[in-house]
């Protein structure tokens, strides 16, 4: 039996813990019931039947986002061109998009908390709501000074997550802004860092594996304290003498579809020819770049964790 690559938290799903950006935690469902499947199919049919409109958004945080918690710890600066989130011992902070999206290509430039950020988490993700929510996660787990950040990724479908992959970045994400992107179309969820793909979650519904394609999601980001698990499995606690901790955001861009009563359809508007994010997938070069990242910088892959899944790896792992 192969050893766990994630020995200190392999039984812990961080998203199952109470998070400050919601009123309650997200439960994880062990199985998908027949009722859920039927409901999902009905919702999907309605969303496909409804018209969708393409929205291209860029730049202004005043126009695109609402601060949802943390009071003045979240600051809009430079006429909405820069947004910062801060965390102190009393509270963290967060924001969410005004719009909900159903597929899109979304970019955000983030400069992470510098110095000793142990115990902190900067989360940037897409999510719907409810017990059968879908979610696409970037989470940046803080570090001791001089140690690399851990980039934690996860994909939830119909309330089920437990699909963690973790990476060490090949640069210092606190020295400058870097672009973190989610490409989400009907066939793929691709995570990218500065244009380099690091993970591709494929649509395998034909094999009975749920895919996030029926629930519109908002963009969320938050900076919060998670020193019970975030750094070395909770062994390193937050040093509040270093507070406030601050992360910065700029250059938000989104080419997305949102549910609408308008007459135009998403595919025809977003793909004037044979290109565009709607049909995008990794070519041979993109696949090679992703393999390079996963070979050299991936530190945990749930699809390799036989200790965590003694009854057998999740079915998507056979084609991951």
Token digits for 213?
């394609």
The answer to whether 104 touches 277, Cβ cutoff 8 Å, is: yes
What positions carry a catalytic annotation?
Answer: 135, 139
- Alpha helices, DSSP H, located in the chain: 34-49, 61-64, 266-270, 284-297
Token digits for 102?
């159903």
CA distance 5 to 30: 22
Residue-by-residue DSSP string for 67-132? EEESGGGEEEEGGGTEEEEEE-SS--EEEEESS-BSSEEEEEEEEPPPS--TTEEEEEEEE--STT
| β-bridge partners, 180 | 108, 193
The answer to whether 180 touches 195, Cβ cutoff 8 Å, is: no
Output b/e per residue, 237-249; b: 16+ Cβ within 10 A: ebbeebebbbbbb
CA distance 5 to 19: 25
Phi-psi region of 293 (alpha: psi -120 to 50; beta: other; left: phi over 0): alpha
Residue 103: alpha-carbon gap to chain centroid: 13
CA distance 122 to 140: 5
**Cβ atoms < 10 Å from Cβ of 149:** 21
Pairing assessment for the beta strands 188-193 and 178-184 based on DSSP bridges: antiparallel
The answer to whether 4 touches 308, Cβ cutoff 8 Å, is: yes
- Alpha helices, DSSP H, located in 9-138: 34-49, 61-64
């Amino acid at each position: 039996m192969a050893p766990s690559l994630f020995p200190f938290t392999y039984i812990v799903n961080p998203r199952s813990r109470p998070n400050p950006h919601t009123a309650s935690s997200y439960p994880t469902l062990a199985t998908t019931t027949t009722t859920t499947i039927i409901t999902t199919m009905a919702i999907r049919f309605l969303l496909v039947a409804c018209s969708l409109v393409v929205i291209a958004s860029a730049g202004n945080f005043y126009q695109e986002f609402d601060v949802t918690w943390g009071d003045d710890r979240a600051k809009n600066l430079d006429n909405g061109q820069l947004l910062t989130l801060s965390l102190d011992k009393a509270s963290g902070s967060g924001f969410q998009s005004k719009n909900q999206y159903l597929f899109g290509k979304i970019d955000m430039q983030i400069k992470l908390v510098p110095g000793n950020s142990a115990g902190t988490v900067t989360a940037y993700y897409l999510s719907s709501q409810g017990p059968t929510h879908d979610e696409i996660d970037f989470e940046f787990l803080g570090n001791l000074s001089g140690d690399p950040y851990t980039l934690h990724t996860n994909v939830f479908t119909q309330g089920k997550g437990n699909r963690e992959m973790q990476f060490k970045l090949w640069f210092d994400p606190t020295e400058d802004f870097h672009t973190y992107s989610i490409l989400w179309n009907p066939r793929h969820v691709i995570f990218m860092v500065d244009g380099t793909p690091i993970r591709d979650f494929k649509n395998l519904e034909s094999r009975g594996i749920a895919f996030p394609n029926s629930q519109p999601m908002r963009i969320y980001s938050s900076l919060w304290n998670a020193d019970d698990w975030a750094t070395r499995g909770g062994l390193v606690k937050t040093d509040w003498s270093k507070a406030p901790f601050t992360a910065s955001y700029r250059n938000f861009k989104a080419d997305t579809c949102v549910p609408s009563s308008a007459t135009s359809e998403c595919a025809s508007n977003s793909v004037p020819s044979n290109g565009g994010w709607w049909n995008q997938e990794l070519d041979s070069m993109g696949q090679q770049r992703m393999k390079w990242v996963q070979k050299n910088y991936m530190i945990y892959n749930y699809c390799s964790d036989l200790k965590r899944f003694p009854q057998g790896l999740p079915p998507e792992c056979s084609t991951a």
